[in-house]
Chains A and B, each alone.
Chain A
């Protein structure tokens, strides 16, 4: 099972400009699996990204909308992308500024589907 998860993450990290990807438990904000996260504090990214996604979910719920299917945080040096997955998981990618966001989103969604 874990090999499958890491395999699906490797498809994400193969996209040019992706520095790392991870599966995160959405409620606890803990790393379940990660791939190519050199130089990145995976535990911190997992905890903070899960917190952001949870708050966004509550905000959209309060606005009468469904939970976000894709979260894109664009920063000066790169981006954080997240897609909710079954079993209360999140698939998260850390990218450089120059990345094909559409392609990463596609790979994140495929990775999320494999976690079903």
Chain B
């Protein structure tokens, strides 16, 4: 498990041990990675975070268009693995959780413990930090720093 925000580590570790999830990715709504577990390649993390953010944005817009309400979670059951994707709000803004599980877990267990993870993150999250301007010059440095933190190199 690798985290960018240290206060995420303990709740996420508890979620991992309780849910038996294989892969976990926590990102901001724009796809910036906050924590990951189980991914071995930076490219996979960046692709999964971008796709997760895009899916959540699409389903929210679809919910708005069809007046069915914004979708906060969705799941997909594959032949051997399932995928759970959910958005949640913290003082830092909206985050997205992507969880992949196999036969050692189930959608019910992942949902149950993901709800608890969100509650624990809400309890330990620092107060909202003032938004700062994102400069193009900082972007690459921050991206590289995040990847070093997430993959230990």
Q: Which of the candidate stretches B42-50, B102-110, B140-148 sits at the interface with the other chain?
A: B102-110
Question: Is B62 close to A, CB under 8 A?
Answer: no
Q: Are A43 and B112 in contact (CB-based, < 8 A)?
A: yes
- In the complex, the chain A residue whose C-beta lies closest to that of B116 is A44
- In the complex, the chain A residue whose C-beta lies closest to that of B107 is A28
Question: Is B77 close to A, CB under 8 A?
Answer: yes
Q: Are B107 and A48 in contact (CB-based, < 8 A)?
A: no
Q: Are A51 and B111 in contact (CB-based, < 8 A)?
A: no
**Assembled-state Cα–Cα distance A50/B107 (Å):** 10
Interface of B is mostly: helix
Closest Cβ–Cβ distance, residue B119 to chain A (whole Å): 13
Q: Are B109 and A48 in contact (CB-based, < 8 A)?
A: yes
**Assembled-state Cα–Cα distance A48/B111 (Å):** 11
Question: Is A27 close to B, CB under 8 A?
Answer: yes
> What is the interface of chain A, defined by CB distance below 8 A to chain B?
24-25, 27-30, 43-44, 46-48, 50-51, 54
**Assembled-state Cα–Cα distance A95/B114 (Å):** 27
Tell me which residues across on chain B come within 8 A of A27, comparing CB atoms: 106
**Assembled-state Cα–Cα distance A64/B109 (Å):** 27
Q: Are A43 and B108 in contact (CB-based, < 8 A)?
A: yes
Best-buried of B77, B105, B108, B112 by chain A (most CB within 10 Å): B108
Q: Are B112 and A48 in contact (CB-based, < 8 A)?
A: yes
Q: Are B111 and A43 in contact (CB-based, < 8 A)?
A: yes
Best-buried of A24, A25, A27, A28 by chain B (most CB within 10 Å): A28
Q: Interface 1/0s, chain B 105-132, versus A by CB < 8 A?
A: 1111101100000000000000000000
Between-chain CB contacts (< 8 Å), 7 pairs: A24-B108, A29-B106, A43-B112, A44-B112, A46-B108, A47-B108, A54-B106
Tell me which residues across on chain A come within 8 A of B109, comparing CB atoms: 29, 47-48, 50-51
Q: Are A28 and B112 in contact (CB-based, < 8 A)?
A: no
Q: Are A28 and B77 in contact (CB-based, < 8 A)?
A: yes
**Assembled-state Cα–Cα distance A64/B100 (Å):** 30
Tell me which residues across on chain B come within 8 A of A28, comparing CB atoms: 77, 106-108
Best-buried of B103, B106, B112 by chain A (most CB within 10 Å): B106
Tell me which residues across on chain A come within 8 A of B103, comparing CB atoms: 54
- In the complex, the chain A residue whose C-beta lies closest to that of B75 is A28
Tell me which residues across on chain B come within 8 A of A48, comparing CB atoms: 109, 112
**Assembled-state Cα–Cα distance A15/B108 (Å):** 27
Closest Cβ–Cβ distance, residue B15 to chain A (whole Å): 14
**Assembled-state Cα–Cα distance A54/B109 (Å):** 12
Tell me which residues across on chain A come within 8 A of B112, comparing CB atoms: 43-44, 47-48
